[in-house]
Amino acid sequence: MFGRNESTPLESSIKMVEKLLKDWNLDPDKLKDKKKNLWYLTQGSASFHIELFKNDKGKNHGVVDCIEVGGMIMKLPEDNILPLYRKLLELNSTSVGIYFAVRGNLVMILSTRECEGMDENELKIMVDELRFFADYWDDILMKEFGGTK
């Protein structure tokens, strides 16, 4: 059949991630977690990841393949939590395609979407935006609010 893609969104996404990393002269196998579809990278002072995973959207939508590009900004500081949260929410209101979140004791910057319909250019934009802003905001937010890596 014309133009029919027999691979799953997850398989296509794995190939796109590996191609992107190779285009950057990086070895995907050296960056990949051995047990998951998860690659660890750095940009300046920021560490970030690309992860492909299954997400159960409930009985009406089922399980879908998803991607997350995420960067660790800092550990939550002991003080100034409410001003930090306010700043993160204000930053979220001005961002396109990325958002700040708290996971456990970490401030993260994330970009997520379903893999279905994603193309190589969209993946590159997700990763480029995330790695730039993770490296940009980590130092600024740590200095302003006293967080650490």
Q: Which of 41, 62, 60, 55 is nearest to 10 (CA)?
A: 55
Distance CA 100, CA 88 (A): 6
Contacts of 76 (CB under 8 A, 6+ apart): 84, 102, 105, 106, 107, 147
Contacts of 12 (CB under 8 A, 6+ apart): 5, 115, 118
Q: Yes or no: say if 144 and 116 are a contact pair by the CB < 8 Å rule.
A: no
Q: Confidence band (pLDDT; 50, 70, 90) for 17?
A: very high
The yes-or-no verdict on residue 9 having pLDDT over 70 is: yes
Question: pLDDT tens-digit profile of 55-100?
Answer: 988 888 888 999 999 999 999 999 989 999 999 999 999 989 999 9
Axis-axis angle for helices 120-145, 81-94 (nearest 10): 150
pTM: 0.89
Q: Confidence band (pLDDT; 50, 70, 90) for 1?
A: very low
Please give, one letter per residue, the 3-state secondary structure of 5-39. Answer: CCCCHHHHHHHHHHHHHHHCCCCHHHHECCCCCEE
Distance CA 99, CA 117 (A): 21
pLDDT of res. 6 = 55
pLDDT of res. 2 = 46
**How large a percentage of the chain has pLDDT more than 70?**
96
pLDDT mean over 118-127: 96
Q: How many Cβ atoms sit within 10 Å of the Cβ of residue 96?
A: 7
pLDDT of res. 74 = 96
